[in-house]
Amino acid sequence: MFHEQAVFFRHNNWQVAATLRFPEGFNANNKYPVVVCAHPISSCKEQTSGAIYGQKLMEAGFITLAFDASTQGESEGEPRFSEDPSIRVEDFRCAMDYLVTLPWVDEDRIGVLGICGGGGYAVSAATTDHRFKAVATVVAANYGRIMREGDSGPDAALKTIAALGKQRTAEARGAAPLVVGYIPANAHELENAGIKDIDIVEAVDYYTTPRGQQAGSPNKLRLTSTIPTLTWDAFAFTEQLLIQPLHIVIGDVPGGFGSYRDGYELYHRARSAVKTLQVVKGASHYDLYDRPQPTAEALAQLIPFFNKHLGSSVV
């Protein structure tokens, strides 16, 4: 029988909340391969990373670990609702530190899967932590690129830097921290904003309706926490240091988050001798979060990828 367990692991002086899922017939006397599943930016472990990909990989024979990013969801950490790449990437290393202490985990068969921004963070973590033996991404997005490009023309990054500097000054002088939404709060707000981009439209449908809405994903971002993203590249040094087998999944319907082109960029930049790029026809970014057919197509290659490079049988 399948089962899951709520666990915590340490990151610096706080606890990260996670869900372990165990395959059918789990026996604590054996050793198993594990896949760490990382959620998108603004998401939580109860959404696509755990409920879709973590669940299906568990059903395929893997132990999976889906965690809430530090400062988000059920995880501890301050300031709340931060989106700092150095903290996000360190979460993966801390997850690995936790897993290698468990007697039924085979430390030589631990992989990582990240969705959207979690895919970018997963790649960044695996680039300098080769304890992750296989790396996979689903619609991975490079959050640093997104922040630098913005939506206001060629000088978007400079305008963002100026605005963030003003906000830090205001907060230093006593203003309340500015917490904003990643996306419009509902369909009405989306319509009033006049936004037509498919990724934003579908993000609102996923995050703010019963389709994907979860308490751990409240659409809150502490704005000044994003300053480090402006000089961060999710794929930095992959040309030199990312050597693990790599499988990249994207949809062929591009949107404003740029996961389509980021998938191709990662494929071409990664040093990995074994790397594959899967393009799911007719699928948008958010189709690959939870829609049955696109996710089934993704998993039809993800599961054999992890079977090949981690092995699905116990030892």
Residues 237-256 have pLDDT tens digits of 999 999 999 999 999 999 99
End-to-end CA distance of the chain: 19
- Looking at the chain, the number of H-run helices and the number of E-run strands are 11, 10
As a whole number, the mean pLDDT across the chain is 97
Q: State both tokens at 166.
A: 């003003």
How many Å apart are CA 280 and CA 293, to the nearest integer?
10
Q: How many residues does the chain have?
A: 315
Q: Collect contacts of 201-204 with beta carbons under 8 A, ≥24 apart.
A: 202/255, 202/284, 202/285, 202/286, 202/287, 203/286
The helix-helix angle for 117-128 and 259-269 (nearest 10°) equals 20
Parallel/antiparallel/unpaired status of strands 14-22 and 63-67: antiparallel
**What does the pLDDT average to over 27-43?**
97
pLDDT tens digits for 107-164?
999 999 999 999 999 999 999 999 999 999 999 999 999 999 987 677 899 999 999 9
Closest CA to 270 of 112, 92, 135: 135
* Helix (H) or strand (E) run with residue 105 in it: strand 105-115
What number is the average pLDDT over the span 281-308? 98
Portion of the chain with pLDDT greater than 70, in percent: 98
Classify residue 306 by its DSSP letter. Answer: H
What pLDDT is recorded for position 150? 82
Give the residue extent of every domain in the chain. 3-146+156-310
Residue 96: pLDDT over 70 = yes
* Architecture field, domain 3-146+156-310: 3-Layer(aba) Sandwich (3.40)
314 pLDDT band, cuts 50/70/90, is low
pLDDT reported for residue 24: 94
**In 10 A of CB 238, how many CB atoms?**
23
CA–CA separation, 221 and 41 (whole Å): 10
